[in-house]
Amino acid sequence: MAKVIHFISDLHLSEEQPKLLNLLEHFLTKIAPESDQLFVLGDLFELWVGDDHHTPFNQKVVELFSSYTAKGGELLVGHGNRDFLIGEAFSKSCGASLLAEPFNFEWEDKSVCLMHGDSLCTDDVAYQQLRQMVRNPQWQQEFLSQPVEARLAFAASLREQSKSAMQEKASEIMDVNQDAVVEAIQANQCDWLIHGHTHRPDTHTIDIDGNEHLRIVLSDWGDKGQYLVFEDGRFESRYFDLK
C-alpha cells in the first residue's frame, strides 16, 4: 500500500489555551494513526525556551506524540519562529526526528519541499534580522546557558515587542515575498512547496518558465484543527473539531 502522510503546522500550544491541546489529543489518537508519517512544520508551541524547561503541560505533549510513534508512526518535527530551540532531547523523548530546513523528498512523481515559511517573508526586514540572530548557534548556546526563568522573561519581553511591532506593519509585509518563493522553488527544484507560518491557508499556482508549481500553505489551529494529507496519489486539506 502507498504511504499516507500528514502535515500540521502552527498549533501554538500553550497552557493558556487548553483547547489546542485537546485538539492535538483528538488528532493524535483519532486521526493521525491512519498515517505512516507525520510532519510538524514549526510553531508546535507558542513558546519554547529549551528542552530543559520541564512542565506537566510539555510532558503531556510528549506523551501524546509518543503514543503516535509507539504505534509505528514516523514523526518529523521542524522548527518555527516560536520554537526554534526544540532540540534532540525533546525529539528523542517522543520518538521524533528533527527536520532540516528546507527538507526535500519525492512523493509519487512530485518533488516536495517543506519549510516553516518565515524565511520567505523577506519584506519584513526587522524580523529577518532577528531571525538571523536567534538562529545563530553561538547565540543559542549562550541563551540556553542562562537559567530557565531568565529565558522565560526574555522570551516574554520579545513577544510583547513583536506584538507591538505587528500592529504597525502592513499585513502584506508579514506575508511571503513572491520573489523569495520563486527562488526557493528554483533552489530546491521542487514541484510543490509546503509551509505554514503566515496563517493564510491556501493553494497557489505559480508558473516558472512555463512549468506549473504549487505553494500549499497550512493553517494555524484555533477553534478547529487542520491537517494536509497525502494519500492515493492526491492531497487534501482537512479540518476537524472536537464535536
> In sequence order, what E strands does 99-201 have?
103-107, 110-114, 192-195
pTM of the model: 0.95
Give the Cα separation of 15 and 9 in Å (integer). 18
Q: How many domains does the chain have?
A: 1
Question: Which helix H or strand E contains 184, and what residues bound it?
Answer: helix 178-188
Position 83 scores a pLDDT of 96
Which CATH number characterizes residue 102's domain?
Answer: 3.60.21.10
Position 66 scores a pLDDT of 98
Position 243 scores a pLDDT of 75
Position 158 scores a pLDDT of 83
Position 59 scores a pLDDT of 97
Position 160 scores a pLDDT of 82
Position 2 scores a pLDDT of 73
Look up cell 503546522; give the residue: 9
Give the Cα separation of 188 and 211 in Å (integer). 15
* Residues of the domain holding 82: 5-240
Position 169 scores a pLDDT of 64
Residue ranges in the chain modelled with pLDDT below 70 = 1, 164-170, 172
Of 233, 224, 234, 223, nearest to 31 (Cα)? 224
